[in-house]
Structure 1
C-alpha cells in the first residue's frame, strides 16, 4: 500500500518540481515577480510531498531511506530543496532558489534512472547502527552545504561576467553583489568541511567494526579524502593567502566536480558501500 501511494506522490512531485523550475526560469528571464511567487509555492508543495514520500519509505521498510543510490539521490534532492527554502527565507538572494533548483531538478532527473533494488532485511539489520546513521547524515549535510557553495560560486561567476560586459539591469541587481555571493559561498564551505571530516572519521570507525572488506584504498574512501583535501586547500587559499574573487570561485566549482565524481562514479569501484 505504501509503495503504490509513494509512486503517485513521486509522479506529482516531479511534475510540480518541473513547473516550479519553469516559473523561476520565467522570472529569471523576464523579472516576473508573479512567476517567482507561484514558483516558490510550488516548490514548497514539492518539499511537503518529498517529506511525505520519505516518511512513507521509512514506514514501509522500517529504516532510514538512504541504503541505495536511488534513495540517497532522492534524499539529496530533498536536502537541496530544504536548504534553498531556508536560504530564501533568511537571505535576500533572489535568483539563488532558481540556480539551486535547476541543479536539484537535474539530480532528480538522474535519480529516475538509478537502480531501485531494495536492500534485504538481513543486510539492513547487520549494517544499521547509530554510528552509521550519524555518518551518512553528516555526509549528506556536508554535501548539501558544498552544493550551496557551488551554486553561490556559479552565481558569482555569472554576476562577474555581467559586470565585466557592463550589462546593467534588474537581473544584475537581483543576483546580489559579488562580496555577498563570495561570503555566502565561503560560509557554506566552512560549515561543510569540518562536517565532512567528522563524517569520515565516524565512517572509518564504523567500517572497522562492521565491514570485513574495508580497505583504505577503496575508491569511495580515497575520493572522499580528496574532496576534503581540495576544500581544505580552498580554505587555506581564502584565509591563509587572502585569495578572493573569480579564482577562488573557480576552485570551489572544481571541488564540487570532484564531489559529483565521488557521488556517481566511485560506487562502481567501491567494495563495501552498500548504497552504491
Structure 2
C-alpha cells in the first residue's frame, strides 16, 4: 500500500498547486479540479485511517506520528465542509497549505515503534477522548486563523483600493471576522474539556504526574491565550483587523506548543 500513500501525497500536492493557480489567476476550472483532487485525498486518507484502526485494534491517534496524520485529516475534512456549506473562496487553499505541510511532516517522520508500543500499553477511553478533542480543537483554531489571514488580506486590498475578482471572492470582512470568532468559540471549550479529561486520566494512570511539564504548561497557555481572545471580543468589543492580528499570533503560540513543547515533554513521552 506504500505506493498508494505516495500517490496520495502527489495528488495532494497537485490539488494545492491548482488552488494556488486559482488564487493567482481566478481560474474556476483549476478550482473545480483541485476540489475533486482534494476529495480523493480525503477518501484515501480515510481508508488508510480505517486500515490502521483495524491493524492496531484502536483509534490510531496516540503517537505524534499518528497525531500528525489525524491533524491533517481533520484540516481537510473541515475545509471541505466549510467550502460546501459556507462557500468562502480560498479557505480551502489556505487551510490545505497548512494541511499539506502537516502531511509532509508525517510522511518524513520516523515511525517511532517504541512510542507506539508504549502507547498501546496506556490505552484508555479517557486518553482517546482527550487526544481526539485536543486535535479537533487545534483544527478549529487552525481554520479560525485562516479566516483571520483572509480578513487581513481582504482588508489590505480594500485599503489599497485594488478592485478585482480576487477582492470579491475573498468575501465580506464581517463574514470572515464572524467565522473566525465562531471557530474560536468552538475550540476553547473543546480544548478545556480535553485538558480536564487529560488531567483526570493522568491522576488515575500515572504514579508521578508533573504539572511543570512543558506540554502541560504549554497546553494551558494555549487555552489561556484563546480564552483571552474571547474576552477581548466579548468583554472589550475588539474586532476587525486588530482581532485578526491577535488571532494569527495566537495560532503561532499553538504551533509552538504542538511541535516544540511536545518534543521537550517528559510527561507526554509516548506522544513525542
Q: 2:112 aligns with which of 108, 117, 138?
A: 117
Determine if contact 1:68/1:116 at 8 Å carries over to the other structure. no
Alignment of 1:148-163 (within 5 A): 148-163=143-158
Inter-partner Cα distance in structure 1 for 2:264 and 2:38 = 36
Q: 2:210 aligns with which of 180, 194, 215?
A: 215
Determine if contact 1:21/1:102 at 8 Å carries over to the other structure. yes
2:180 aligns with: 185
Inter-partner Cα distance in structure 1 for 2:117 and 2:88 = 47
Matched, 1:107 2:102: yes
Inter-partner Cα distance in structure 1 for 2:22 and 2:118 = 47
2:91 aligns with: 96
Inter-partner Cα distance in structure 2 for 1:122 and 1:15 = 30
2:79 aligns with: 84
Inter-partner Cα distance in structure 2 for 1:190 and 1:17 = 30
Matched, 1:28 2:23: yes
Q: CA deviation at 1:59?
A: 1.7
Aligned length: 271
Question: Secondary structure of the residue that 1:265 maps to in structure 2?
Answer: helix
Determine if contact 1:94/1:174 at 8 Å carries over to the other structure. yes
Q: 2:134 aligns with which of 139, 147, 151?
A: 139
Q: CA deviation at 1:125?
A: 4.3
Determine if contact 1:69/1:114 at 8 Å carries over to the other structure. no
Q: CA deviation at 1:269?
A: 1.9
Q: CA deviation at 1:121?
A: 7.3
Report the CA distance shift for 1:167/1:121 in structure 2 as closer, same or farther (over 3 A): closer
Q: CA RMSD in A?
A: 1.3
Inter-partner Cα distance in structure 2 for 1:31 and 1:243 = 33
Determine if contact 1:135/1:199 at 8 Å carries over to the other structure. yes
Runs of 5+ consecutive residues of structure 2 not aligned to the other structure: none
Q: CA deviation at 1:249?
A: 0.6
Runs of 5+ consecutive residues of structure 1 not aligned to the other structure: none
Inter-partner Cα distance in structure 1 for 2:154 and 2:249 = 18
Inter-partner Cα distance in structure 2 for 1:39 and 1:124 = 37
Determine if contact 1:85/1:97 at 8 Å carries over to the other structure. yes
Q: CA deviation at 1:163?
A: 0.7
1:14 aligns with: 9
Deviations 1:102-141 (A, max 9, x none): 1111222222332212247763443111111111111011
Deviations 1:161-187 (A, max 9, x none): 111111100000000011000000000
